[in-house]
């Protein structure tokens, strides 16, 4: 039985209303990839600053890319993850290290142990939901 629980929908709506800066871990430069479409839509429709986190890239969506969360020199409101669930441990380590307030694990990114570890460190975690779909639902 799963011990992890997402915040209720009222809380998700509330936290989305406060978001301004989103680090997108695994943001692809390929417009056909879901990470690109979601990030571009959040940037365009809500004016959120997108911070690409992807090694070996210098820029995505007109924004400077960083190799890891730890390299971002400013505060992030939300870390949005488009990565294989088996690769979450170092991402959670980095989110804890930078004091990220929220960690969003996109549809299919399910790793209860890492979600619980992030929660235990004081990070608000949303797992297996699409930030874009929820933003459209709650912010219109």
- CA–chain centroid gap for 15, Å, is 13
Mean pLDDT on 112-128: 98
The runs of H, that is alpha helices, within 1-140 are: 9-18, 34-46, 88-98, 112-120, 131-139
Mean pLDDT on 33-61: 96
pLDDT for 43 equals: 96
pLDDT of 99 higher than 80 = yes
Model confidence band, residue 140 (pLDDT cutoffs 50, 70, 90): confident
For residues 95 and 97, give the distance between their C-alpha atoms in angstroms, rounded to a whole number: 5
pLDDT for 47 equals: 94
User: Could you tell me if 27 and 50 are in contact, meaning their C-beta atoms sit under 8 angstroms apart?
Assistant: yes
- For 8-31, write each residue's pLDDT tens digit: 999 999 999 999 999 999 999 999
φ/ψ of 102, rounded to 5, equals: -145, 145
User: Could you tell me if 50 and 24 are in contact, meaning their C-beta atoms sit under 8 angstroms apart?
Assistant: yes
Q: What percent of the chain has pLDDT over 70?
A: 99
pLDDT of 2 higher than 90 = no
**Tokens coding 122:** 């004081």
Domains, in order of start, for the chain:
9-139 (3.40.50.720)
pLDDT for 1 equals: 64
């Amino acid at each position: 039985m799963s011990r992890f629980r997402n915040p209720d929908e009222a809380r998700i709506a509330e936290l989305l209303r406060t978001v301004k800066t989103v680090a997108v871990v695994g943001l692809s430069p390929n417009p056909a990839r879901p990470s690109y479409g979601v990030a571009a839509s959040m940037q365009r429709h809500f004016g959120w600053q997108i911070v690409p986190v992807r090694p070996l890239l210098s820029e995505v969506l007109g924004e400077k890319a960083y190799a890891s969360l730890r390299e971002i020199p400013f505060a992030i409101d939300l870390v949005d993850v488009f990565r294989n669930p088996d690769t979450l441990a170092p991402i959670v380590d980095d989110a804890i290290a930078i004091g990220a307030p929220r960690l969003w694990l996109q549809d299919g990114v399910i790793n209860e142990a890492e979600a619980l570890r992030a929660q235990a460190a004081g990070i608000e975690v949303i797992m297996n939901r699409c930030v874009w779909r929820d933003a459209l639902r709650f912010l219109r």
